[in-house]
Structure 1
């Protein structure tokens, strides 16, 4: 009998496991594959994600990290560079990052079983009491489903994605490119309705290049990426001849697309709970944060007089953290699904740096300034007034 079983050793699962183990709880992490393993992602870490990594005491000074200083937005014939107003960003391949996070959880005291696929939940009297795996059964006081967008554990409990929440898709490929040491995360707007392209330097001779389509029902990211890359300067070397590995795609479960985030005995964290920002497709920061929030709620519950009542506060805690930008993001991506609105938003936004910074702050993609500006204060006020759904 463990205190907590964490299903999935991605950012959400490893974050929760690390914080829980440091709090003195008996934690078992079950990972269906083995490390190192590949994960389809843009590999960009915003200052928000960096702060969560610092909370986990991850060494951010060693090899493998590449520091970024801001975002460069390109569209409608315009270019706008927005430095991070506080902190800094990073890039690192998910092949490295996920293993690093899992090993950090183990160092904190969590147990990790790799190549262990969860096949079904264990239940007793309406409560999740553990999981069945390909190698046996494991019991726990609580289970955290951090098993990604498909979240078979959640599906087995009847929790399927909500039809009123967007499910996007992203495709990415690595290229050997002279742009590998660009310190700005480059975003190309207007490649498709509610879609964008990215070029993120990895600092190791390669760039992570891809497209994210935030609302299209059946997007053809292969065609969109190919058309975009042929329009770029040949000197950037973003062609098949310089590719490292194939083009791969993954789903983006956005805007709390699977709920509720708590059932008796089970919490959802990260992609399993649809914790991807609908306006940007960013997920790592929100997954790391959700893992920490889950750990804080669980630790409080285990040490308090009313554990079940405390556990039931987890969904509200997640909504307080991200409900407002997710609500705004859903509305925004619905609007820019119209190509005319997408073109207007791109043209106007890139012509007005203050307006664009305000929008990015409002939608959760830009940290506020250390000394809040009027637009920061306005964004904060609107965020407080926005329903957290």
Structure 2
């Protein structure tokens, strides 16, 4: 018979959101278990791009972890994004990070990134890091949550779901069902010797008509390698009966902008698939004795597909909420709604704008028009650069008046 182990908090999942939450609970006086179904180092299928927001979130945690990450390798500096419009024309937009000018963004394999994060919490005195144990059952009682894994059972006051897109915590306690209108299917494959990569590390987003509303990406990695992938809204995959692997392979072998670049490229793995639960619709993020974080809380940006910054942010907010919960001895659903409110106060504005930008991808001519104007006018380029970092400016992109001004004033 499995012996039940007692912890104040059990975090399921050791990705960025779970590790952030645990790190922020160090020296809190709480006993914390982090349960991970795999053994580190382990892969996570992802685009591997780390935006300026990720760096800023590290600094919000503390300078020690931020500076440790900046020294950690292998990773490649990313200085901007190269957009390819449906008409195949490109536009370079540099990244800016006013808070930390030496760290705009990076591309780093999730195997390395997540291993770095896990190392930061493994030595903390009040954190027990438990690997190779998959959660199989969760049972909430009046005063505790009981968790059964492949090897052990746990009892806790509060369970934290930081276990990704297919979160068992969500399935068992919250039942946020997959909605294809707010979900994307994705593929990733690592390559070596892709030609035409930008020397300064610009990542590439290709918005071609046959994959809208979605995009193909090429993200440079150290050692002449690249993370190459494709993401398309799941509702469109179903509606158009798209075979993602076939579409991905066809683009690489036949698309005018891509085929020559992949002639001598060598795939380093088989094609890997994954799902992206998008933050384009508000959903409950908590309930009686549980909170959801990161991908488990559907916090991925609907336009870019980026989720790591919001995952870290949710881990920070969750840790603050957990400390207050134990201080007041409140773990009920009504109290935990404060966490939902905090998350959406911080993130919903940008998620909503990104959803509107995703909707604009239904109009390829609009994307073509914007790229054409920006390539001809430096003022428009500077405006678009500012929009990457300023959600209030980004709102202008979804207003018809913005395009009227472009038509007549530039």
TM over 0.5: yes
The number of aligned residues is 367
Instruction: Indicate conservation of the 8 Å contact 2:180/2:233, yes or no.
Output: no
Alignment of 1:1-389 (within 5 A): 1-54=6-59, 55=61, 57-58=65-66, 59=68, 60-75=70-85, 76-86=87-97, 87=100, 88-109=104-125, 110-125=127-142, 129-161=145-177, 163=179, 165-177=181-193, 178=195, 179=197, 182-190=200-208, 191-215=210-234, 216-218=236-238, 219-230=242-253, 231=255, 232=257, 236=261, 238=262, 242-255=266-279, 259-304=283-328, 310-336=335-361, 338=362, 341=363, 343-353=364-374, 366-368=388-390, 378-379=393-394
Post-superposition offset of 1:235: 6.0
Q: Give 1:122 shift.
A: 2.6
Pairwise CA distance, 1:356? 7.3
Instruction: Identify unmatched segments of 5+ residues in structure 2.
Output: 1-5, 399-410
SS in 2 for 1:282: coil
313 and 355 in structure 1: CA distance in 2 versus 1, 3 angstrom threshold = farther
1:246 partner SS: coil
Work out whether residues 214 and 281 of structure 1, in 8 Å CA contact, stay in contact via their aligned partners in 2.
no
TM-aligned CA deviation for residue 25 of structure 1: 2.7
Tell me the TM-score normalised to structure 2 length: 0.81
- Cα gap change, 1:220 to 1:359, in 2 (>3 Å): farther
Change (3 A) 1:302 1:136: same
The offset of 1:214, in angstroms, is: 2.7
CA distance in 1, matches of 2:296, 2:277: 8
Q: Which moved more, 1:301-310 or 1:285-294?
A: 301-310
Q: 1:13 to 1:360 in 2, by over 3 A?
A: farther
Report if the CA contact (8 A) 1:180-1:204 is conserved.
Answer: no
Cα RMSD of the aligned pairs, angstroms, is 2.8
Q: TM-score, normalised by structure 1?
A: 0.85
Contact 1:349–1:356 (CA<8 Å) still a contact in 2? no
Q: CA deviation at 1:291?
A: 0.9
State whether residues 181 and 201 of structure 1, in contact with CA within 8 Å, keep that contact through their aligned partners in structure 2: no
Residue range with higher mean Cα deviation, 95-104 or 218-227: 218-227
Distance in structure 1 (CA, Å) of the matches to 2:81 and 2:206: 11
Larger Rg computed on CA atoms: 2
Give the conservation status (yes or no) of the 8 Å contact 2:134–2:149: yes
Alpha-carbon shift at residue 349 of structure 1 (Å):
2.2
